[in-house]
Structure 1
Amino acid sequence: MFLWILVILLIVAVALAGGAYAAGLIGGGGSSSAAAPTGVPTTAPASTAPTGSGGTAASNPGPGTAASTMKVATPATLGGTEKLKTTAKNKPSATPDLFPSTARAEGVFGLDDRNIMYVWALSGATVAQEERAALFGAEVGNRFDTGALIAVEPGPIGGSAQCGDGKWNGRPAAVCVWSDPDSDGVLVDSPGNPEALAGKLSALRAEIEKPA
């Protein structure tokens, strides 16, 4: 009998202890947060999205490109040389109207009647470049008695250019002719040689032909 009483008391004690433990877990669950696992970041990584407005900068075409229009004008000086007062000895033959154009550059530059540089150029024509170049080249050949012209570097303005030997009022001269989508022109240097004039052609054209 006494043994049975001890067994009953033991069962009651175990039951009470289990209830107290369960009550402790329930009571503490809302007061503390679970610890974050180690090795896992608790903040989000910084954004790598660009902060700028995005897009690319527009590029601007330079002189001589398809988007630009060039116009000729007679410069005050050419290659650092002043315009020469026209006389009977240095006056060029009359320049014909080969085709309609909106701008013309023409002048004689030099130190005296026997050391000259002559320019004649047209721009703003509505005639196709191939036709203009053929007409202009034929006129240059007739006026300055040129032989075969050899292709040379036209320079940054572009187009095509040729140079060769010719005549200025019966005297030997170097002649360079150019053609591009906007203009046609000729430079005559007397006395001079084609190679030297070809080397100066790019710089001289830049003094005559500029963006409109």
Structure 2
Amino acid sequence: MSQPPSNPYPGSYPPPHQQPGGYQPPQQPQYGGGYPPAPQQQPQYGGYPESGQPGQQYGGYPESGQPGQPGQQYGGYVETGQPGYGAPAPLPPKKKSSVGKILLIVLAVVLVLCVGGGVAVWFAAKDEVGEVVQATKTRLVEPTTLAGRPKVSEPDLQTAATQMKSEIAKDVPNATSTVGAFYGDPAKKDLVMIAGASGVIADPQKEMADAVTEITPELGAKEFKTVDAGPLGGDAKCGDGKAQDVPVAVCLWADKGSLGMVVVYFKSAAEIQQEFVTMRGEIEKRD
């Protein structure tokens, strides 16, 4: 009697329990990417590499790493959910707000203006009754717009303005009025800060000199030059400075009834001298 053929599936096809072309049933993935090695002594078909060589990968992939070591990663990504394999991509640096930088400088300048150099000392000389009367009629206001610029609605700057007025009121208890506000549009590099107080000042020139002395190192200003004070009179000076590498123009005025400061960011003192007179006229009022 003839014996049945040893291979009941003649031809190039493998038995049903094997996969054509050397492909193996899916197994659990190993760390480090790539396919798992083929089992020992598995017959191969179609010219694929001989089985029994652990770590051999298909389709040109590199060998997987040694046991206990991470495999090679592709494209710089690390498999999620596998702690300890590869270095995670660094997070992008947190953007610093330019408004926040300006805020810190503004507060520092205002504190110097209010506290330093005896600026907070307000009194009336007895032999200058006429000037005292005129000084008591002087007040400072925060206009709705300043030289065409609207008040800034940005919350951080509004908070800074409130703190400015609070500090001025605390350090100048005899002040009849105080101002602290921001105008313009920071996104368009158009930002103006005002700060000041009204009250009777016996020696405006001394107050101006003291204020300039205290402010100069804070802003890195080289020189404050005397400028036209405008129709309201008194003394006025302007200088250039920097706030965290942002150029600023600073102008101050002092008279018998008020001391104030205008800071224009992204401008030079030469650019704002004429506009300073306009802005002061909108801030300082006399009854």
**TM-score of the two chains, using structure 1 as the length reference:** 0.60
Aligned AA for 1:109?
A: Y
**Per chain length, whose mean CA-contact separation is higher, i.e. which structure has more relative contact order (CA < 8 Å, sep 6+)?**
1
Question: 1:41 is matched with which residue?
Answer: none
Query: Higher Cα Rg: structure 1 or 2?
Result: 1
Q: Which residue is 2:179 aligned to?
A: 105
Q: Which secondary structure does the structure 1 equivalent of 2:223 belong to?
A: coil
- The alignment yields a C-alpha RMSD, in angstroms, of 2.8
Q: Flag the 1:125–1:167 CA change in 2: closer, same or farther, 3 A.
A: farther
Relative to structure 1, the CA distance from residue 89 to residue 182 in structure 2 (aligned partners, 3 Å threshold; closer, same or farther) is closer
- Per the TM alignment, residue 143 of structure 1 is displaced from its structure 2 partner at its CA by 4.6
What are the Cα deviations for residues 159-202 of structure 1, in whole angstroms up to 9, with x where unaligned? 01111101235411111111111111111111111112111121
Q: Deviations over 1:92-126 (max 9, x none)?
A: 59544443312111111111253201111110145
Quote the offset at 1:82 in angstroms.
0.4
Which runs of no fewer than 5 residues in structure 2 stay unpaired?
1-129
What secondary structure does 1:153 align onto?
A: coil
Cα distance, 1:86 vs. partner?
A: 3.7
Look up the equivalent residue of 1:182 and give its one-letter code. Answer: G
Deviates more, 1:149-158 or 1:85-94: 85-94
Q: Which residue of 1 is the match for residue 150 of structure 2?
A: 82
Question: Aligned match of 1:132 in 187, 207, 222?
Answer: 207
1:188 aligns with 2:256: no
Residue identity matched to 2:147: G
Match of 2:283 in 1: 208
- TM-score, normalised to structure 2, is 0.45
| Cα contact 1:147–1:164 (8 A) shared by 2 | yes
Q: For residues 125 and 141 of structure 1, what CA distance do their matches in structure 2 show?
A: 25
Matched AA of 2:272: L
What is the deviation of 1:91?
6.7
- 1:128 CA drift (Å): 4.0
Q: Is the 8 A contact 2:141 2:284 kept in 1?
A: yes
The structural deviation recorded for 1:140 is 3.4
Alpha-carbon contact 1:162-1:178 (below 8 Å) kept: yes
Aligned length: 148
Query: Is structure 2 residue 214 aligned with structure 1 residue 146?
Result: no
Unaligned runs of 5+ in 1: 1-64
Q: Which has the higher strand share?
A: 1
Task: Give the whole-Å Cα distance in 2 for the aligned partners of 1:177 and 1:90.
Answer: 22
**Structure 2 residue identity aligned to 1:155:** G
Contact 1:123 1:183 in 2 (8 A): yes
